[in-house]
Chains A and B, each alone.
Chain A
Amino acid sequence: MADREELHVLLVEDNPDHEELVRRAFSDCGARVRLQVARHGEEALDYLFRRGEYGDAERSPRPRLILLDLRLPRMDGLEVLAEIKSSPELRAIPTVVLTTSESDHDVARACAQHANSYLVKPVEFERFEALIGDVESYWLTLNRQPGGVGPAGAR
């Protein structure tokens, strides 16, 4: 368990404070996660499609999970989601919406764009931490992905 490889997670989040909250929540639950942060929708797509400064595949490994905020500068999260889910290469990556929006409208639109999950950021850190812990255990530990990626014991 100790030499378990680091898991790549792409966090699309414009607010550095929220980024810090996610980072600490991951570290508190003891997950070995390498967080790649994109500040806006375009940066996220540049990373995923390996464009611009992310042109080098070495610098932009495929994430095991994408955490996506909805309200982003330039291109909002739903557009990013649509791009991801329409790409045959990327659509298998679990994309979890993590937002402050509780609006039914947003939930419906995210589901329509095939979001794998829709989560609302809790206000209390304890619950935030618990939520990230659940995300980690479900999406990064229990969930199996194509290409033999999944829980080691199940192989």
Chain B
Amino acid sequence: MRRARRSLRTRLAGVLAALVALLLLANAAWLVLSARQRMRERIETSASLFATLATGPICSAYEAYFESGHLKFRQVVGDLLATAPDVTRVEIVDVEGQVLFDSGRLNESWPARPPPGRLDGIRLEAARRLEPTTLRGGDAAAATLEIVSPWVEAWGRHRLSVVYSVSYAKLREEYQRYARATLAFTAVSILAAALVGLALARRLTRPLAGLTEGAREIAQGRFGRRLDVRTGDELQTVAEAFNEMAERLDATRAERERLIDELERRNAELERFTYTVSHDLRSPLVTVRGFVDLLEKDVAAADPGRTAADLDRIRRATVTMEELLRELLELSRIGRVMNPPERVSLDQLARQAVALLHARLRAANVRVDVRPGLPSVHGDRTRLLEVLQNLIENAIKFRSGQGEPVVEVGSRPGPDGPVIYVRDNGVGIDPRYHDRVFALFERLDPRVEGTGVGLALVKRIVEVHRGRVWVESEGAGRGSTFCFTLPEAP
């Protein structure tokens, strides 16, 4: 089977996978972004909580230990910072903005003097406020957060504030891990979706492959091919429609072949006909012209006996020609000029034929016996009368010299319906010539009058009625039986 250029399967799977991938990617993006937001908020919340809780102890420790024993102070600050991993730096400033302590310089020489620097701008402002302030800074790539938390002593004095620097580094790290996991999961999901889609598409398109193969076989002329698709869905409907089409094609082809056969048969018949006609019409022509030329010699020789004989030959030849032409015309009309088919009682028709031939039957002293039980058939009444008339006439012509000539018209059951027969006790026909008697201009006995068209006419009429005609005879002197079948009247 040739593959489709862009198979339905590939397209279906492709569209499904793309859709699933798009959805999963959107989902992953949303998850990652919202997780990032959530983490940022969590960091900020815990940082500000830490700021609120740690400001008091840090400032107290600063007051109590910074000047005297900075080791203790370092310990307190270190312990506190250890509990808040996101807070990276702690600075203690006074309300003037003077930095008193910077944990970022914890490892430098101690005590850190002169003070590390001064605050300015919004940081200074924040350091003077009595409420904690959150300062966001930096850019999108490296966001920073500073929480400035004032140390308000029990009696309301505000002298010191603590600046906590919060790092998002942990966030970034965690967020990246999360994003990686989500993306990996998404990729796996897309792959799985593609595979499932492919499998599904294959299941869907398998009957299509059968359909394609069947269509191709039919295209190659194997109209007997039927598709067996029992999926119960639209594909089965398609297959059924397809089978119906194949059946019609098959019927059409059979009909076409029948017509071609018939046409070929007709053509061959026509060819034979033309050949025979040209040959047989030339024959009396040769006679006429030959004897006309001879007539001149007769006249010159003053031979009245010969003149009369030759004139007689010419006359008879022209009669033959006239007869041939008339019968040929008659023959050519069959099949071309037909009366509308009707129900015809053969019994009635046989009696009519006998009545028409009455004079000839009496002259030849032939008795016709029409047996009871002749069927009724469907056909052209006038033509069928011609059939019976010709067969009875034939029986008269070929009666034997001995005994009383009797013709019997009757019927007997046959494999394709009743067989109608015209039986005589005449001269009979050698089995060698049984096929030939029906051929045009075929005459078995040149001494018997006739042109050899009668039985050809019978054959043609019966065949136009889709019947069959044949002769049965055991041979010379044993009589003959002409049989034919016709479609029975419905």
* Interface residue from A40, A100, A124 paired with B283 (Cβ < 8 Å): A100
- Chain A neighbourhood of B291, CB < 8 A: 17, 21, 125
* Interface residue from B282, B287, B430, B436 paired with A21 (Cβ < 8 Å): B287
> Is A73 within 8 A of B280, CB to CB?
no
* Interface residue from A14, A40, A74, A123 paired with B285 (Cβ < 8 Å): A123
What CA separation (Å) do A24 and B309 show in the bound complex?
A: 14
Chosen A-B contacts, 11 in total, with CB atoms closer than 8 Å, are: A15-B287, A17-B291, A71-B279, A71-B441, A74-B444, A100-B279, A100-B283, A121-B282, A124-B290, A125-B294, A126-B293
- Chain B neighbourhood of A102, CB < 8 A: 278
Q: From A123, which residue of chain B is reached at the shortest CB distance? A: B289
- Chain A neighbourhood of B280, CB < 8 A: 71, 100
Known interface pairs A100-B279, A103-B279, A125-B293; A21-B446 also in contact (CB < 8 Å): no
Interface size counted on chain B using CB atoms at 8 A: 28
- Chain A neighbourhood of B445, CB < 8 A: 73
B469 smallest CB distance to A (angstroms): 20
B338 smallest CB distance to A (angstroms): 31
Looking at chain B's contact residues, is the secondary structure mostly helix, strand, loop, or mixed? helix
Q: From A129, which residue of chain B is reached at the shortest CB distance? A: B293
Q: A117: CB under 8 A from chain B?
A: no
> Is A100 within 8 A of B282, CB to CB?
yes
Within 8 A of B (CB), among A111-131: 121-126, 128
What CA separation (Å) do A40 and B445 show in the bound complex?
A: 8
- Chain B neighbourhood of A121, CB < 8 A: 282, 286
> Is B279 within 8 A of A101, CB to CB?
yes
- Chain B neighbourhood of A155, CB < 8 A: none
- Chain B neighbourhood of A124, CB < 8 A: 289-290, 293
Known interface pairs A17-B317, A20-B313, A24-B294; A73-B444 also in contact (CB < 8 Å): yes
Q: B275: CB under 8 A from chain A?
A: yes
> Is A125 within 8 A of B433, CB to CB?
no
Q: B442: CB under 8 A from chain A?
A: yes
B287 smallest CB distance to A (angstroms): 4
- Chain B neighbourhood of A144, CB < 8 A: none
Q: B202: CB under 8 A from chain A?
A: no
Q: From B452, which residue of chain A is reached at the shortest CB distance? A: A73
- Counting residue pairs across A and B whose Cβ atoms lie within 8 Å, the total is 73
What CA separation (Å) do A75 and B277 show in the bound complex?
A: 19
Q: B443: CB under 8 A from chain A?
A: yes
What CA separation (Å) do A40 and B430 show in the bound complex?
A: 14
Known interface pairs A123-B286, A124-B293; A40-B279 also in contact (CB < 8 Å): no
- Chain B neighbourhood of A24, CB < 8 A: 294
> Is B289 within 8 A of A125, CB to CB?
yes
Q: From A21, which residue of chain B is reached at the shortest CB distance? A: B290
What CA separation (Å) do A125 and B436 show in the bound complex?
A: 33
> Is A17 within 8 A of B446, CB to CB?
no
Chain A contact residues, CB within 8 Å of chain B: 14-15, 17-18, 20-21, 24, 39-40, 71, 73-74, 99-103, 105, 121-126, 128
- Chain A neighbourhood of B443, CB < 8 A: 14, 73
A18 smallest CB distance to B (angstroms): 7
A30 smallest CB distance to B (angstroms): 15
What CA separation (Å) do A8 and B269 show in the bound complex?
A: 40
A118 smallest CB distance to B (angstroms): 14
Q: From A25, which residue of chain B is reached at the shortest CB distance? A: B290
Known interface pairs A20-B313, A126-B293; A100-B286 also in contact (CB < 8 Å): yes
- Chain B neighbourhood of A101, CB < 8 A: 275, 278-279, 282
- Chain A neighbourhood of B441, CB < 8 A: 71
Q: From B285, which residue of chain A is reached at the shortest CB distance? A: A123
- Chain A neighbourhood of B444, CB < 8 A: 73-74
> Is A125 within 8 A of B446, CB to CB?
no
19 further contact pairs, Cβ within 8 A, besides A71-B279, A74-B430, A125-B294:
A15-B446, A17-B290, A17-B291, A18-B283, A18-B286, A20-B313, A39-B446, A39-B447, A40-B446, A71-B441, A73-B442, A100-B279, A100-B282, A103-B278, A121-B286, A123-B285, A125-B289, A125-B291, A125-B293
Within 8 A of A (CB), among B287-314: 287, 289-294, 313
What CA separation (Å) do A128 and B436 show in the bound complex?
A: 31
* Interface residue from A17, A100, A103, A126 paired with B313 (Cβ < 8 Å): A17
Within 8 A of A (CB), among B99-155: none
